[in-house]
Structure 1
Amino acid sequence: MPGAGARLTGLLIAGGKSNLTYEVGDGERTWIVRRPPLGHVLATAHDMGREYRVMTALAGTDVPVPRTYGHCEDTAILGAPFYVMEKMDGVPYRTRTELEVLGPERTRAISVGLVETLSALHAVDPAAVGLADFGRPEGFLARQVKRWRKQLDASYSRDLPLADELCRRLEADVPVESAPGIVHGDYRLDNVLVDAQDRLTAVIDWEMATLGDPLTDLALMIVYHRLGALLGSDSVADANAAPGFLSEDEVISLYRARSDRDLSRFGFYLGLASFKLAAIIEGIHYRFIHGQTVGAGFDRVGDAVGIMLETGLTSLEEHR
């Protein structure tokens, strides 16, 4: 790390099945180190080079990202690939309770910033920042349907006829994709940092980033909001339920005002996002019933799968 002293200390600040995040300091300065989770993991799901590359490329754009300092593939150093980046000030707000303390005006400002930053990301020309080969945008939507069908099949523990129906309808009516762009892959309020002036200081957790149809980011963020309203903060983030947070229609209107992308088939994207989250939640349910996940709320999380699938089917009929 640039200018680091001889004695470094480290603190794990985020762990689990996602990438591990450490705060490392020398008594005067602090950096962030990211590495894959412990144990056997899929390299493609926890690609340190991928996160490092996209944040490095976005430096200097209208998308706030931490400054990156170095990426290392030599596993002899930490036991896994890792990268070092700047420690950014800010809070990853997650719950309604956290935002209620700020009041409706500040909450609204934060939610406006969330949407404006997403539209700024989607306006970036991948080739102009050196990311022309960062993914395969052609056929992206069809591959997403197949990917999450495969994920759902891998967590099979019960019949889900609505999943079969939603998948069939998605496969049968894939729209013409919007112009390729940088897709974050998991964009939501608790994956950005917000400072004391309610400004977004950094978009973080780029482990699922790729090139594809950016409207999938917008749809996933909205479906996360629907899920938060369904389950509450015991299981998922529900910050969007705080007074002052932009409504779903306001989110879409603001995004449309700042983007020239065609949202006329947005119902498909909402259906796909619902299918994706249903597959993820079913995976959590599968691990819970097999004793691999413990904690508050996990005993009820499986109930949300059917509702998400119903929401996905209903969403296919939505027009914007």
Structure 2
Amino acid sequence: MSVENPPGLDLRRLRAHLDEVRPGLVTGPLSGELIEGGRSNLTYSVTDGVGRWVVRRPPLGHVLPTAHDMAREHRVISALAGTDVPVPGTITLCEDTSVIGARFYVMDFMPGVPLRRAEQLTAVGSERTRGIALRLMDTLAALHSVDPAAVGLADFGRPEGFLERQVRRWGKQLDASRSRDLPGIDELRSRLAGSVPASGPAAIVHGDYRLDNALVDADDRITAVLDWEMSTLGDPLTDLGLMLVYFSDEILATPGPSDVHRAPGFPTGEELVARYAERSGRDVSRLDWYTGLAFFKLAVILEGIHYRYTQGKTVGSNFEYIGEVVPVLVEGGLKRLSG
């Protein structure tokens, strides 16, 4: 249900800003609502009764200046317009925090829904489910085929040493939240650091690519890939490795995961990888390493949440189970590296 002013979004000030930078775009008073489901940046749907748009801003409260970078998200989405990667059209970027209290950008509202639960796919049947999953892979291959320099993103990241930095970064995060003995996690970290593969050509990396970060319409088309806040230039197989973890049985141990891969007709991991390799031309022979890295990354993230829970610094429910999940992810990572 729309409200006059959703938390963190002053619609009157937003309207005034849009009238200034895009006169004639909005034809009446705005109403809006917070779109649930985002884990970090806040996303709103706003309408004047004729058109509809989406607003993205950082979470409420103090955030680091480099975190939740609205300009970065806006830049990559704008750059990908006109490529084979489906993204919303961008309307405006506002870096003046006096307008709504934070930097924000506005983009087109795209048709479609995120598919997060197996029952959503079960309802459309196994044949359509398979088609949707394969189109997800085709879209990932299309993203990784975009020449960053050709779309103005040559300086969007530092591809050299990307994988080594990833291992170091998550290792430092682990050290910062270490509060208990976690059998196997140091072995996983060491094995990753000692076997870093040589990267192929750098690409635009989404950073959190999965089915529920895309919109699928009634014709089973992927109309938009969303949530680009972790995008950069780097090794594209990190996207594929993380996606395989999201489609693994180990992830089902975590609170509130997507279980779309359980739907009848959903391709196996091997089929998805084969589709990606065919469409992208990338060498996927070392993919187990990338999947191991993804397991390590998620284990470290959840261990950090568990640490904050033990310090009484979390708000909400189900945090008491997070600590039990970490060993499952560590085991999954070691298993992939032993494969």
**Normalising by structure 1, what TM-score?**
0.94
Distance 1:229 1:105 in 2: 24
Deviates more, 1:176-185 or 1:90-99: 90-99
- Deviations along 1:167-223, one digit per CA (max 9) or x if unpaired, are 111111111111100000000011000001111000000000000000000000001
Distance 1:198 1:229 in 2: 25
1:279 paired to 2:300: yes
| Map of 2:7 onto structure 1 | none
Match of 2:288 among 261, 267, 289: 267
Q: Deviation of residue 260 (structure 1)?
A: 1.7
| Native 8 Å contact 1:235 1:298 kept in 2 | no
> Structure 1: which amino acid aligns with 2:164?
A
| Native 8 Å contact 2:250 2:328 kept in 1 | no
| Map of 2:152 onto structure 1 | 130
Match of 2:270 among 245, 249, 257: 249
Distance 1:134 1:73 in 2: 19
| Native 8 Å contact 1:16 1:37 kept in 2 | no
| Native 8 Å contact 1:52 1:83 kept in 2 | yes
| Map of 1:139 onto structure 2 | 161
- Cα distance, 1:63–1:243 mapped onto 2, change above 3 Å: same
| Map of 1:109 onto structure 2 | 131
The secondary structure found in structure 2 opposite 1:302 is helix
Distance 1:248 1:286 in 2: 32
Match of 2:108 among 79, 83, 86: 86
Distance 2:37 2:258 in 1: 17
**Root-mean-square deviation over aligned CA pairs:** 1.6
Distance 2:143 2:119 in 1: 28
**Normalising by structure 2, what TM-score?**
0.89
Distance 2:151 2:251 in 1: 37
Distance 1:110 1:287 in 2: 38
Q: Deviation of residue 16 (structure 1)?
A: 6.3
Larger CA Rg, structure 1 vs 2: 2
Once the two structures are superposed, the pairs formed by residues 12-27 of structure 1 within 5 Å of their partners are 12-14=34-36, 17-27=39-49
1:307 paired to 2:307: no
| Native 8 Å contact 1:36 1:82 kept in 2 | yes
- Cα distance, 1:275–1:209 mapped onto 2, change above 3 Å: same
- Deviations along 1:202-253, one digit per CA (max 9) or x if unpaired, are 0000000000000000000001111565327x52111111111111111111
Distance 1:240 1:132 in 2: 35
Match of 1:100 among 122, 125, 143: 122
* 5+ long unaligned stretches in structure 2: 1-17
The secondary structure found in structure 1 opposite 2:98 is helix
Deviates more, 1:55-64 or 1:42-51: 42-51
Which stretches of structure 1, 4 residues or longer, exceed 3 Å deviation after superposition?
Answer: 14-17, 227-230, 287-291
Aligned length: 316
* 5+ long unaligned stretches in structure 1: none
| Native 8 Å contact 2:245 2:251 kept in 1 | no
| Native 8 Å contact 2:92 2:106 kept in 1 | yes
